[in-house]
Amino acid sequence: MTKAKPRKTTPKIGAFLDDEEKGIHEVIEADDYVPLSILTSEKRAEYQAIARAAMNEGRVKISLRLAETDLERLKAKAMREGMPYLTLIGSILHKAVM
């Protein structure tokens, strides 16, 4: 008896994109695509300084128990926002105490 090889599948990106997003995806996947940066070197340096200052704040590890459904909702929201879910949780907590 021979083992069946697992089928390789490619994600169907187009199934989840609207027409504008499909157009953007096609442009990015084209062979002649060259990404452009709209950041000036001054703005980039400013953003890097802000990020460094935020990262250098004292950070403390904590443990937290959440309802499974709350965690799944947080992960989904973080995915929509394009950030790690732990970063989202930290941001929510930071805003709540300010």
3 within some domain: no
90 within some domain: yes
Per residue in 12-53, pLDDT (tens digit) is 666 678 888 888 888 888 888 877 777 788 888 888 888 887
75 within some domain: yes
What pLDDT shows up at residue 58? Answer: 77
Short-list 98, 50, 73, CA closest to 89: 73
Short-list 93, 94, 89, CA closest to 74: 89
Short-list 96, 57, 65, CA closest to 88: 96
- What is the domain extent for residue 48? 30-97
21 within some domain: no
14 within some domain: no
36 within some domain: yes
Structural domain total, the chain = 1
7 within some domain: no
What sign does the CA torsion over 29, 81, 37, 53 have?
Answer: negative
For residues 31 and 72, give the distance between their C-alpha atoms in angstroms, rounded to a whole number: 37
Per residue in 63-94, pLDDT (tens digit) is 999 999 999 999 999 999 889 999 999 889 98
What is the phi/psi pair of residue 51, to 5°? -65, -45
23 within some domain: no
